[in-house]
Amino acid sequence: MPPRKINLLESADRQIHKVFDPHIAGDVNDSQVKVAKFGEMFDWHAHDNEDEAFLVLRGKIAIDFRDGAVELGEGEFIVVPKTVEHRPRSLTPEPVVLMFEPATTLNTGNAESDLTVTELKRL
């Protein structure tokens, strides 16, 4: 049986019903490709052992760093190195973002809160 293809935007619209609730789109070796809708403001956090990559599929986001912010639009990509404190937020209503990170990465990194998701759903 051939691998299953996924339309990320259609799947996000159909299956992701709240912001900052990452869903697994696929597994790549020991990493995962995740899709999420972003909301107004996330927690400040860092990932002690993992880099985190973001690709905006739809809309616009900002990633705040302690020394400034980086704005990303559709098709724009950034890697946040491990240990760098950051805080993602939306600049448009519910942007859709693809994230690539090790499967062990917790969405809130070293900052547990009500936004922490420990059991991810799959698209």
φ, ψ of residue 103 to 5 degrees: the values are -60, -25
> pTM of the predicted model, to two decimals?
0.92
Cα–Cα separations (whole angstroms), residue 70 to 18, 78, 86, 121: 24, 9, 10, 28
**Would you state the pLDDT for residue 27?**
95
33-90 pLDDT, tens digit per residue, is: 999 999 999 999 999 999 999 999 999 999 999 999 999 999 999 999 999 999 999 9
Q: Which CATH class is domain 8-122?
A: mainly beta
CA–CA distance, 85 with 25 (Å, rounded to integer) = 25
Give the 3-state secondary structure of residue 120.
coil
Domain residue ranges of the chain, discontinuous segments joined by +? 8-122
